[in-house]
Chains A and B, each alone.
Chain A
Amino acid sequence: MITVSALTKRYGQRVAVEDMSFDVAIGRVTGFVGPNGAGKSTTMRMMVGLTRPDFGDVRYHGISYTRLRHPARVVGSVLDAQCMHPGRTARQHLRAAAAFSRISARRVDEVLIEVGLESAADQRAGGFSLGMRQRLALAGALLGEPEVLLLDEPSNGLDPDGIRWLRNSLREFADRGGTVFVSSHLIAELAMFADDLVVVGGGKLLAAEPLQTTLARADSVVVVRTAHAAELARLLQDHAIDVDVAGDCLSAHGTTTADVSQLVFDHRIQVLEITEATRSLEEILLEMTGASTEFASSSARNFTPRTTR
């Protein structure tokens, strides 16, 4: 169990992380999501002792990270996959890391196979693609056969096959009793293998709950196109269903297509189209973090290509 308690970090006047508390359960994949500047990286750095919190602490089975006897054997972390000397080969990079944590050199070859880099083991990291660097960084995190994997955007630069491999590997790692705490911007990807979500925004914790609880926040909307929108709206409201009407389009909240179909059939109302829209996890999270987004995109300011006359 990882226990994050009242974690707070300020840089001058700016509050990077404020009073953040949550637990990460053993044997589960916990996704860590939030917009840019939400405090994810600062929190993860505090979780491995790289940034000193102003207040609060992080404990692994009750022990602070900086007090662990063998940190690399408890927590394997990748906070920046670009961090490696370009002049060293993958094998040399891992051998130095293994020696530092008193891990057998034999383990280096094992992790190179585990991440699929054995054929590039003696190539210099400077020539690696972003995906290969991600794999090498992950190999470094796995050296100590840790119980916890703490990964910041591990799928960056991976090709679709690599992303699938990572997803399956992390899922299996957790199924075998490991704990995975992973931040990602790929919400749809995260939804495929995470058990729990920790949602942050503006340096504050917005939610820490099972993924299914988050998904349950999505109310489905049945959209009906009909020439009798006003009549249908009255009927639905009579059944205590919230309705929005815009021209010949009607949106009914908190109901199902089957219920609406039955109603229009019973009252012989002709409909032109009926569809059910369910919000994705991405939409739910965007709504949750919307107010705290530091760098918002504006749909009114799309990229415009320069045209030649």
Chain B
Amino acid sequence: MNTTTLSRPDTPTVRHMTRDRRDDFAAVPAAVRSEWIKLRSLRSTPAILGLTVIIGLLLSLILATFVKTDPNTGEVFTVGETFIFSTWLSTVLAIVMGTLLFTSEVQHGTLPNAIAAQPARWVIVVAKATIGSCFGLAMGVAGMIAGFSGAVIGGLEAGDTSGMATTALWGLMLTSLAPVFGLGVGMIIRHSAAAASTVLVWALVIENLIQGFAPANLSRLLVFSAANGLLGIQSAGDTPETMAAALTKVQDAFLFSGYTLMILAIGTAVLYRRDPR
């Protein structure tokens, strides 16, 4: 390998000035740009986006071609309601992607480099949350477009489309918050497989178990109940009692945002307390 000599600045100038809070805020755009470069440079990023599209397309196509009617209500599926169905899976994928934003840094030992370069650790959290949120938004949009396309290709009727825009916006809010929630989980658990499986087990098993015995006005406060509420999705286990106790979308939005902020705050505290390995 051809090599030259290592560069060295001739005159140290402002390098030794101390940092203050304004410097930390000024560092956020650079950290976001760095996170964007990191995200863009991984093959898993387009793979996750592609998976979101495939899931959206396939789910709508299957519903349109093989299921056709809602087993809960007996009504025929329409494009206006089917396009959002895959967003729940997009949300779970976005949460897993959010956990990986942090756990992959731990797994590959790159976290110390980041913290050495930016001792204000909250800057790293904000940058990751921003990029994760943007990617979650992109996943939501891609999933909905794919869901819409699958429903149209599957030959479903348009149905009532007046609420589509509002439904889409609530869904996009959810997919944007989901990676931030995942980031918080990742910062607490710090292990890719453990963090992802914790999220999946909680979403698919624990909450369903809790809903089985907890009163409706308590189970409606669970994390993924709030997510379902935002998407307006009813599950097979919903009873008239649970449907009557359901929160409004605004309440669900506040609830899920609250959970996200709480998990992120705990994760940030853990990041400050524990020395990076």
Contacts and interface: CB of A to CB of B under 8 A. Distances in A.
Interface of A: 45, 48-52, 60-63, 65-75, 77, 79-80, 82-89, 92, 95-97, 99-102, 110-111, 113-119, 135, 138, 140, 142, 145-147, 149, 162, 165, 169-170, 172-173, 176-178
Nearest to B123: A100
Contacts, number: 150
B73 interface: no
Interface in B33-58: 33-35, 37-38, 41-44
Counting chain B residues whose Cβ lies within 8 A of the other chain, the interface size class is 35 or more
Interface string B113-127: 111111100000000
B38 A50 contact: no
B19 A69 contact: yes
Contacts of B115: 49-50
B41 A88 contact: yes
A97 B17 contact: no
18 contacts: A48-B116, A68-B15, A68-B119, A69-B16, A69-B19, A72-B117, A82-B109, A85-B110, A87-B44, A96-B38, A99-B33, A100-B114, A116-B3, A142-B7, A145-B7, A147-B8, A147-B15, A176-B8
Contact of A63 (B10, B16, B23, B43): B16
A177 B10 CA distance: 8
Given A48-B116, A70-B15, A172 B5 contact: yes
A165 B16 contact: no
Contacts of A138: 6
Interface of A is mostly: mixed
A132 to B, nearest CB: 8
Nearest to B14: A69
Given A69-B23, A114-B3, A178-B8, A85 B104 contact: yes
A85 to B, nearest CB: 5
A74 B17 CA distance: 10
B146 to A, nearest CB: 25
A169 B6 contact: yes
B74 interface: no
B119 A65 contact: yes
Interface of B: 1-10, 12, 14-19, 23, 27, 30-31, 33-35, 37-38, 41-44, 104, 108-110, 112-119, 275-276
A124 B227 CA distance: 38
A140 to B, nearest CB: 7
A68 B19 contact: yes
A97 B44 CA distance: 20
B5 to A, nearest CB: 5
A127 B256 CA distance: 42
A89 B41 contact: yes
B113 A83 contact: yes
Contacts of A50: 112, 115-116, 275-276
- Which of B19, B31, B42 gathers the greatest number of chain A CB atoms within 10 Å? B19
Contacts of B118: 71, 100-101
Contact of A110 (B7, B10, B34): B7
Nearest to B275: A51
